[in-house]
Amino acid sequence: MSSPSLFSICLMLLLIQQVVSLDYGAALTKSILYYEAQRSGKLPPNQRIQWRGDSGLGDGSDNRIDLVGGYYDAGDNVKFGFPMAFTITMLSWSVIEFEAQLKAKNELSNALDAIKWGTDYLIKAHPQPNVLYGQVGDGDSDHDCWQRPEDMTTPRTSYKIDQQHPGSDLAGETAAAFAAAAIAFKESNPSYSSQLLVHAKQLFDFAKSHQGKYSDSISAVRKFYGSSGFQDELLWAAIWLHRASLDQSYLEYLQSQETGGTRTMFCWDDKFTGVQILISKLILEGKLDKGNKKWAEYGGHAQEFICNCIGKGSANANRTSGGLLWWDPWNDLQYAATASFVITSYSDYLTSLGSDLPCPLGPVSAVDLINFARSQVDYILGINPKNTSYMVGFGSNFPQQVHHRGASIVSMKKDKTPVTCRGGYENWFSKNAPNPNVLDGAIVGGPDYNDNYRDSRANYQQAEPTSVNAAPLVGVLARLAA
């Protein structure tokens, strides 16, 4: 065997140095900080992102309801309830699984603040047991304008589901968000936790008794966050409600439904994998009978998903040549982030039992799983063929022209001159210069299948961050920073 060349040795040392220099704690801080930049409504005195200001203070007025608050979805100024609720569920799951690690890094209170900013809004959006507001703002008119949220002039229409216009997916996901958040707040704010659980139970009952897709009831959302179905959200709500209440009726519901099969992805529109992972946890802990056919089916699909992600399965997920899990040219990092989260969580489940994961291509240890998740996070943070961090504000080389209205326009605190609808495109969107405001912690859509990335505001497939991208990484980063 020939000895390694000087070049390969230098390259190896450089990669080792990069790995060592990654500060997961700093990335964790930024991932939570990002949500402060996405806030809608009246900003609190302890707001840390100072280039933002109050916005959307009249939201809900068209229906004589207070819908002020919540989060803007991505680089636009619309509040889409479906992905927002999924974001809150994943932030809550991050806190539940990795509370000790978040606390050790002094980020637990910030993570809980991020959750509460969302749940406070969702409580407002659920004024009656069978009424839930699922969107504020119109996607088409919003996308025609390029304005800061502080001075937007687009319609702030509010849309709801009710008994005559059902949305089991939206109601189910929001129930899951409330139930997961109820667990997250159980110790620090028990009265708030109880309030959240009441909303969760009401919405689950609404979702079951009035079935239908929310995007059939709220047609304005179809081209942005149309739903492919609602069975997964009903299961997702049920497993979180069981975890929050320990009520066996939710397990009975899960027993009576189809398990969803082995999924190819876990995302805002497909939660089957999340359900299967949570049921697997109960099986591994001996709280569910692994000999039960239905529970074994749920658990088997969870294992198959993880095996496929790590390349040890019978239908392995694609990866770029640089090693990133690959699903879609549009915002691929959302899928890599959720996969990394479930793999990290499952690794810890196995560690507590001293077990391995049986895969078609051989057993996989808990250490192998966490190392794989680390490889995905490292890629996102800059150890990739482009040496680019896809977390804004992290590292020395990160996207400068993020597709984000607020970040791309000078702060009102520096220039109060109103930005007009089309003037924003002319003066800011088309400006070939770095954004004046750094959107710390945002995870952009990410590279293409060839590991390439074009840093341009016009490149919304790759350069637009969304709230769902960062939420799973909060938990993974807390675990890696420990």
Residue 187 burial (CB count, 10 A): 9
Catalytic residue among 107, 403, 404, 451: 403
**At a CB cut-off of 8 Å and minimum separation 6, what does 376 contact?**
323, 324, 325, 336, 339, 340
Residue showing tokens 């978040």:
102
Strands annotated E in 303-404: 318-319, 325-326
Q: Is 73 a catalytic residue?
A: no
Residues 6+ positions from 39 with CB-CB distance below 8 Å: 47, 49, 52, 69, 71, 72, 117
Active-site residue flag, 464: yes
> What stretches of 310-365 show up as alpha helix (H) in DSSP?
333-353
Q: What DSSP designation does 312 have?
A: -
What amino acid occupies position 143? Answer: H
Burial category of 429 from C-beta neighbours within 10 Å (exposed 0-12, middle 13-18, buried 19 and up): middle
Closest CA to 438 of 474, 404, 478: 404
79 strand-pairing partners = 136
Helix runs in 125-229, H state only: 139-143, 168-184, 190-209, 214-217, 222-225
User: For the residues of 134-150, what is the DSSP string, one character each?
Assistant: EEES-HHHHHT----GG
The residue annotated as part of the active site, out of 54, 62, 356, 455, is 455
- What residue has token string 């658990």? 299
Distance of CA 423 to the CA centre of its chain: 32
Active site residue 304: no
**Rounded CA separation 307/309 (Å):** 5
In 3D, which of 200, 212, 193, 155 has the Cα closest to residue 176?
A: 200
Phi, psi values for residue 160, rounded to 5°: -135, 165
Contact assessment for residue 282 and residue 296, using Cβ atoms and an 8 Å cutoff: no
Residues 6+ apart with CB under 8 A from 162: 130, 131, 132
The catalytic residue among 73, 76, 142, 378 is 76
| Calpha distance 132→126 (Å, rounded) | 5
Compute φ and ψ for 389, nearest 5 degrees: -85, 125
Give the C-alpha separation, 41 to 66, whole Å.
Answer: 11
Quote the radius of gyration of the chain (alpha carbons, Å).
Answer: 22
- Number of Cβ within 10 Å of residue 353's Cβ equals 11
- For the chain, how many helices (H) and strands (E)? 19, 5
Would you call 126 a catalytic residue per the annotation?
no
Helical H segments across 246-292, by residue range: 248-256, 272-284
Catalytically active residues are 76, 403, 455, 464
